[in-house]
Amino acid sequence: MRVKAILSLIRRATQTMFMQSVQAATQIKQAQLGYQVSMAVVKKGLDAQKAQGEAAVQLLEAAAQLSKAIGMGQNFDAVG
């Protein structure tokens, strides 16, 4: 009778440890997925910032070329 009780306790303990291992593995996978999603969102944000910066530089370069083409700033007297 005691052997059956001991085996039953061992079985329950083994099942409990197995379930805890499965839960830990699931939590690890969820954390990894969350990290990957976060990194993808950050990358998209950085890509958008880079594109905006490049567009701003192009706009400034175009404005500088346009002002040179129409002769602006050639007769500027800063001394007064």
- Give CA–CA dist 66/62, Å, rounded: 6
- Whether 74 shows a pLDDT value over 70: the answer reads no
Whether the full predicted model's pTM is greater than 0.85, yes or no, is no
Higher pLDDT, 79 or 12: 12
- Residue percentage of the chain with pLDDT more than 70: 89
Four-residue CA torsion sign, 10, 11, 17, 18: positive
pLDDT class of 54 with cuts at 50, 70, 90? very high
pLDDT class of 69 with cuts at 50, 70, 90? confident
Q: Record the tokens describing residue 80, joined without a space.
A: 């007064």
- Give CA–CA dist 80/76, Å, rounded: 9
- Give CA–CA dist 73/66, Å, rounded: 12
